[in-house]
Amino acid sequence: MKKAFLYIILAGIFWGTSGIFVHYLAPYGFSSLQMTFVRGAVSFIGMLLYVLICRRGALRVRALDLLCCVFIGITLFLTGSCYFTSMQMTSVSTAVVLMYSAPVYVSIFSALFFGEQFSRLKWCAVGCMLVGCCLVSGVIGGLRFDLVGILIGMLSGISYAAYNVLTKISMRRGNDPITTTLYSFLFMVIVAALFAQPGQLPSLVAPSPLLLIPLLIGMGVVTYVAPYFLYTLGIRDLPAGTASALGIVEPMAATVFSVFLLQEPISWISAIGILLIVGSVFMLAKAEDNKGENS
């Protein structure tokens, strides 16, 4: 059990490093779409090597499930692209917190599409999330803010919520999580390649290949491949609600990195907003635990 906690916490810390890679890659001209493409490509190659070596049976997939993976891949592309764009237009801490509002959207989607109960605790979580987003964005408090960046950040959360719902549908059909992830990564890369102009990558890397190539590979491994495997290992031995609550490490780690490593300022109003959004996720985790106890 202790190892499971450690795996989830480490996964959250790794996910929280995304802003560091964006901070160092963006000045070299890499767009959010290109960073999404590279991260997806590295993740797909890593997953494919794992499947070819350890799980060749995971390559088999039914046609209808493959179609589901197409839509999952699209949501992954939108999540990553909007997330990175929001980071560049607002700040790392703002972008990660806006994306972390995804569990609230998941609850809303689950109520709409799966008929799940929307309890008072979940309504309270939605309220805290909305107020928290307003505080973080500067809508409340009279701070200057980039409206487009905020909306794109919220879209990353909605896209991530859609990814969770589609993955839930795939799991209910009895699909292998490894198979679903592998083909979702594949279609994410295909979609990203259509928009990211990957042909420009060699010229962008050329000025400083010894720095940029490790950064690009590291972004895929550290922010996608490693945390995915750690989270998968941890969630096997922990209740879903507990795992969701521990996932709070990600926005906290991202905020710490942005303030102490990237020197991004954070106001007390934004800090309150972050705490409200964090609290909304805890409420959702508690609601899920209560549901499990009552079922």
Q: Can you give the pTM of this predicted structure?
A: 0.77
Rounded Cα gap, residues 163 and 72, in angstroms: 6
Rounded Cα gap, residues 64 and 62, in angstroms: 6
Tell me: the pLDDT tens digits for 7-46?
878 888 898 898 899 889 989 999 999 999 999 999 899 8
Provide the pLDDT confidence category of residue 235 given band limits of 50, 70 and 90: low
Provide the pLDDT confidence category of residue 142 given band limits of 50, 70 and 90: very low
Rounded Cα gap, residues 76 and 83, in angstroms: 10
Backbone angles phi, psi at 23, to 5 degrees: -60, -40
**Lowest model confidence (mean pLDDT) among 136-145, 212-221, 263-272:** 136-145
H runs (alpha helix) in the chain: 2-15, 18-25, 32-54, 63-89, 92-99, 102-113, 120-137, 147-172, 177-195, 201-205, 209-220, 226-235, 240-246, 249-260, 268-294
Amino acid 210: pLDDT: 94
**Lowest model confidence (mean pLDDT) among 18-22, 180-184, 238-242:** 238-242
CB 187, CB 67: distance < 8 Å: no
Rounded Cα gap, residues 79 and 83, in angstroms: 6
Tell me: the pLDDT tens digits for 60-115?
988 888 999 999 999 989 988 998 898 888 777 778 777 777 667 777 776 776 66
Tell me: the pLDDT tens digits for 285-295?
676 666 655 55
- To the nearest whole number, what is the mean pLDDT of the chain? 80
Rounded Cα gap, residues 32 and 35, in angstroms: 5
Answer whether residue 183 shows pLDDT above 80.
yes
In DSSP notation, 22-37 reads: HHHHGGGT--HHHHHH
